[in-house]
A = this chain, B = another copy of it.
Amino acid sequence: MKNEYVDIDTLKFLLYNVHHTEDLLSRERFSDYDKTSIDIFIDSVKTFSDNALFPFIKDMDEKPSYFKDGKINVHPQFENILKPGGEMGLVGLGFDYDDGGMQLPSTIFHAAYFIMEAANNHVPGYFGLTSGSANLILSFGNQELKDTYVPNMLDLTWGGTMCLTEPQAGSSLSDVATTATSTNEDYHLIKGQKIFISAGDHQFSSNFVHLVLARIDGAPSGIKGVSLFVVPKKRPDENGDLVYNSADIVGEFEKMGQKGYCTTHIVFGDNDDCRGWLVGEPNKGLSYMFQMMNEARIATGRMGAAIASAAYFSSLKYANERPQGRKLNSSGQKNADEEQTLIINHPDIKRLLFSQKAIVEGSMSLIFQTSNYFDKEITSTSEEEKEKYNLLLELLTPIAKTYPAEKGIESTSNAIQILGGYGFCFDFMPQQYYRDIRIIALYEGTTGIQSLDLLGRKVTIKNGKAIELLAEEIQQTIKDANNYDEFKSYANELLENLGLVQKVIGTLMPHALKGNFERFLADATVFMDFLGTIVIGWQWLKTANAAQQVLIAKNGNQTDAFYESKIHTMKFFYTYELTKAKGLAKTLMNEEELTISVSNDIF
């Protein structure tokens, strides 16, 4: 199943040639691994995805998970996915050996999940959320919590979830109202309800471990009063038997896509005896949760890129098989007596394909770039290096979440367009990917929330240190590109855009300094679009540099055409996408204030 949903050659090229994953493997933490063992692991994930995931994606859409009699029922194929995947180690890929994990780099974790999500985006969340919640317990929980919960989560005997959202407080975590009342025992009594809980229940795990944000009685208002609890669906009693814990599934949200991935509504403490165990210290829940959320944000962006990858290959297959229309001759006419040509021969179809390739591979590269910073941060021995990679990671995380989400929508829409009317029909896959991917810009903080984070927090962090570090990274890529005459004009284009970033920030910052934060942040989403486009431009130049290097050194294991296609797609991105940045800068530097101080009845 080469290139039915993911291009493993490109994935490996990005890992090894563009992001130098082998350098990571020389670090102490990862020293048991080399390129060969990583390749074997990646190939095994591909085989698993070919056999257990990809063949079932359509059926999971047609037979969605559903709620009945207090339980969620997911597609029967999950029986052949969850336990086997757990046994492959998919939950604990990045965990320490001591915690039962495989201690792999985060970059490899993301590569593996990318493959699985491209094969079937309805599935990997069940692993990912269990992994994330187990990781939270390992990072901040006491030994008893670790011993009680984590071993069962590693092979998905028990599933894990994160419970943040409440009906009255979607994105506004200050307004979490679920309560936690202390008792004379080691637990609190939890009461409240949580919605949009992904992977919250199913018939193939015997228990669920919910990581729940709640407010201890008397805690301060706002985010400073939010604590984190482990709330099992069934709690182990003194004999280790599982007993009812009043964490009831009361419904499932019916969605337009990703229907195999359940989205549940959970009510805690209806009988006033729902027990939760505090993780770490009181009132620090949000800062703990943010560890998980930051990972989940990168993971969500990755999922967007993966869905777009699958849509791309599905439309590419069609374009290579479907004859329609003819080439124009030099009089601008078509000869109806000729055979029809394959639609891939039409420039507009090529444009739609390149646009998908540019978005998919550019997004993949950004995910690996971001996780590479993560891996370097956690393995750096110098504090200065740790801070550098942490700041770069913090800055790129909201972009890595958002670019693949927003541009992934456009990319899957282009896949539909290639199929024409068939693209809108259930017989073909693009319409499903188009429905599936639309959630990505909403999960884990909407695009608006990510954009406030980017401009409001990350750009201003340590007086702009993060953006300075990013500029240095980009400048290094520009410098590398200037070694190749063919790349100089593109390098120059990127440099110009980098200057524009400074100019835009210089125009916006005074509003913040004057205390007019509403004005400062009003166009944060436009800023996200602007900086995201430039960051992907950087990734493409970096990718082209790596390709050129291989071509010159003649040391690649792919054909020359493979590397040339990377260079060609870089040019496409610079010609068709990066050209949009200046217009966005103009919008950002406008002096109108059209979305603030406007009466609501203007609409």
Chain A interface (Cβ < 8 Å from any Cβ of B): 165, 168-172, 174-175, 195-196, 221-223, 253-257, 316, 320, 323-332, 334-337, 340, 342, 344-351, 353-354, 357, 409, 413, 416-417, 420-427, 431-432, 434-435, 438-439, 441-443, 446-448, 451-452, 456, 512, 515-518, 521-526, 561, 564-565, 568, 571-572, 575-576, 579-584, 586-587, 590, 592, 594-596, 598-603
Residues of B within 8 A of A337 (CB): 221-222
Known contacts A255-B426, A580-B583, A582-B583: does B420 contact A170 (CB below 8 Å)? yes
Residues of B within 8 A of A165 (CB): 421
Residues of B within 8 A of A348 (CB): 448, 451-452, 522, 524-525, 595
Among candidates B336, B422, B448, B594, residue contacting A221 with C-beta atoms closer than 8 Å: B336
| A346: nearest chain-B partner, CB-CB | B448
Beta-carbon contact of B254 and A340 below 8 Å = no
Residues of B within 8 A of A582 (CB): 582-583
Known contacts A435-B256, A565-B602, A600-B320: does B417 contact A441 (CB below 8 Å)? yes
Residues of B within 8 A of A344 (CB): 600, 603
A135 to chain B, nearest CB (A): 24
Complex CA–CA separation, A344 to B434 (angstroms) = 28
Complex CA–CA separation, A324 to B170 (angstroms) = 7
| A523: nearest chain-B partner, CB-CB | B351
Complex CA–CA separation, A357 to B603 (angstroms) = 8
Known contacts A565-B603, A594-B575: does B583 contact A517 (CB below 8 Å)? no
Known contacts A420-B442, A587-B575: does B324 contact A425 (CB below 8 Å)? no
Complex CA–CA separation, A378 to B345 (angstroms) = 40
A576 to chain B, nearest CB (A): 5
Beta-carbon contact of B425 and A253 below 8 Å = yes
Q: How many copies of this chain sit in the oligomeric assembly?
A: 2
Beta-carbon contact of B426 and A174 below 8 Å = no
A312 to chain B, nearest CB (A): 8
Known contacts A442-B417, A583-B582: does B174 contact A351 (CB below 8 Å)? no
Residues of B within 8 A of A168 (CB): 323
| A172: nearest chain-B partner, CB-CB | B325
Known contacts A325-B171, A583-B582: does B447 contact A222 (CB below 8 Å)? no
Complex CA–CA separation, A524 to B349 (angstroms) = 12
- New contact pairs (18) apart from A170-B420, A222-B335, A257-B424, CB-CB < 8 Å: A171-B324, A174-B334, A254-B427, A332-B456, A332-B515, A346-B448, A347-B521, A348-B452, A350-B598, A351-B525, A354-B603, A417-B447, A431-B438, A526-B576, A561-B601, A579-B583, A579-B586, A581-B583
Beta-carbon contact of B174 and A336 below 8 Å = yes
Beta-carbon contact of A446 and B417 below 8 Å = yes
Complex CA–CA separation, A485 to B590 (angstroms) = 18
Among candidates B416, B420, B438, residue contacting A416 with C-beta atoms closer than 8 Å: B438
Beta-carbon contact of B579 and A431 below 8 Å = no
Complex CA–CA separation, A221 to B420 (angstroms) = 24
Residues of B within 8 A of A171 (CB): 324-325, 420
Beta-carbon contact of B583 and A351 below 8 Å = no
Residues of B within 8 A of A575 (CB): 587, 590, 592, 594
Among candidates B334, B443, B572, residue contacting A594 with C-beta atoms closer than 8 Å: B572
Residues of B within 8 A of A601 (CB): 561
Complex CA–CA separation, A525 to B355 (angstroms) = 13
A537 to chain B, nearest CB (A): 13
Known contacts A579-B587, A594-B572: does B447 contact A424 (CB below 8 Å)? no
Complex CA–CA separation, A565 to B603 (angstroms) = 7
| A313: nearest chain-B partner, CB-CB | B603
| A522: nearest chain-B partner, CB-CB | B347
Beta-carbon contact of A426 and B256 below 8 Å = yes
Complex CA–CA separation, A447 to B421 (angstroms) = 12
A215 to chain B, nearest CB (A): 11
Residues of B within 8 A of A579 (CB): 583-584, 586-587
Known contacts A330-B515, A427-B254, A601-B561: does B421 contact A170 (CB below 8 Å)? yes
Residues of B within 8 A of A576 (CB): 526, 587, 594
Beta-carbon contact of A561 and B603 below 8 Å = no
Complex CA–CA separation, A431 to B600 (angstroms) = 24
| A591: nearest chain-B partner, CB-CB | B575
Complex CA–CA separation, A331 to B515 (angstroms) = 6
Can you name 14 A-B residue pairings with CB atoms under 8 Å? A170-B422, A174-B336, A175-B340, A221-B336, A222-B334, A328-B517, A329-B517, A347-B518, A348-B448, A348-B451, A421-B442, A434-B438, A571-B592, A579-B587
Complex CA–CA separation, A580 to B530 (angstroms) = 12
